[in-house]
Amino acid sequence: MPELPEVETTKTSLKPLLGQQVNAVQVFQPKLRWQMPSDLEDLVGYTLHSVERRAKYLIITFTQAINEQAQQQLPARQLIMHLGMSGSLQQHPFGTDKRKHDHLIITFSAADCVNSTATQLHYHDPRRFGAVLWYEDYSSKLLDHLGPEPLSPDFTADYLYHLIQRTVKADDASDKTSKKRPIARPIKSVIMEQKVVVGVGNIYATESLYLAGIHPATPAHQLSYDQISVLVKHIKDILQKAIVLGGSTLRDFTIASGQTGYFQQTLNVYGKQGEKCPHCDMPLDNIKLNGRASVYCPNCQPLP
Ligand SMILES: [Zn+2]
């Protein structure tokens, strides 16, 4: 499944298209997780202005040149894209045939670049759990309740510890969370909740808990401030490392330029149940938490 690093890599790969104008929009299969809008062709004539990432969503902004007759800039149009379980955005030269599972092709012109050919952006998604939506229709539903970005300064040990303990600062005393009990759910489930922190998928939760020496089923509120601190550090490190390497959690995941990421080659425990712990040689065990495989070392990650 494309995780946060893959989406960040996809964002970066779209940079060469910034400033290019949309020449054509072709929808072949609108039925993704939600129905694709029927008026995507409205983007023809717009220019790709910016690509942002929030959690695993890409927010793609198109603007239009000043309309000379109206003497004003038309409003920007924004798309939200999600790659779902198996989606990818791939760039091909103009004239490349549509492949099976290419559900949307946006053709850009490179009129201002005499020597380059036009590029087609193919949204490819065999399992069709992804999404292509107008931002204005879905932003509040999809984006408003998300927690902080894991690599941002907002995601700190202080933040996570106090969120789990439900302790609040004095100036927040009216906050209702102060009346709630500390969070006793397994720590792995907590760090995978999007309202706690975004983009920590199964692979990164599993690996960071291993590196922090924390059993995935540990009740979150039993962790000390120091343990939370080490865990937060490893979550940030591992995501940063995966972004640098291009990310790869899906075996056939290819970034837009056609290269395959290779982060999975550096994993310690994810997907390695029964193999030896790289640190102590004990066979790695697996428990299911929220229906998800959670591989861990019984020796290096003891339950408290
Ligand atoms: Zn071990």
The domains of the chain are located at 4-143, 157-296
Distance 212 CA to ligand 1 centre (A): 12
Q: List residues with catalytic annotation.
A: 2-3, 56, 292
Ligand 1: distance of its center to the CA of 277 in Å?
Answer: 5
Residue 149 CA to ligand 1 centre (angstroms): 30
Ligand 1 centroid – CA 209 distance (Å) = 12
* Shared fold status for 4-143 and 157-296: no
Alpha-carbon distance 189 to 6, whole Å? Answer: 22
Q: Give the 3-state secondary structure of residue 282.
A: coil
Give pLDDT, residue 57: 97
127, amino acid identity: R
Q: What is the CA radius of gyration of the chain?
A: 22
Model pLDDT, residue 170: 46
**CA 186 – ligand 1 centroid, Å:** 20
**For residue 146, which of 56, 243, 238 has the smallest C-alpha distance?**
56
What fold is seen in the domain 4-143? N-terminal domain of MutM-like DNA repair proteins (3.20.190)
The residue ranges of the chain whose pLDDT is under 50 are 170, 249-262
Structural element, H or E, at residue 6: helix 4-13
What's the CATH number of domain 157-296, 3.40.50.720, 1.10.8.50, 2.60.40.1180, 3.40.50.2000? 1.10.8.50
Q: Would you state the pLDDT for residue 117? A: 76
Instruction: Please tell me the chain's helix, strand, coil percentages from 3-state DSSP, rounded to the nearest 5.
Output: 30, 25, 50
Which tokens belong to 264?
């999975």
Number of helices and strands in the chain (H, E): 6, 10
Tokens coding 28: 């072949």
Length of the chain: 304
Instruction: Supply 217's token pair.
Output: 């089923």
Residue in 103, 78, 293 with CA at minimum distance from that of residue 201: 293
pTM of the full structure? 0.86
pLDDT at 112: 52
Residue 114 to residue 27: CA distance in whole angstroms: 28
Angle between helices 4-13 and 225-245 (to 10 degrees): 40
Q: Compute, in angstroms, the gap from residue 293 CA to the centroid of ligand 1.
A: 18
Number of neighbouring beta carbons within 10 Å of residue 81 = 23
Q: Give the distance (Å) from ligand 1 centre to CA of residue 222.
A: 21
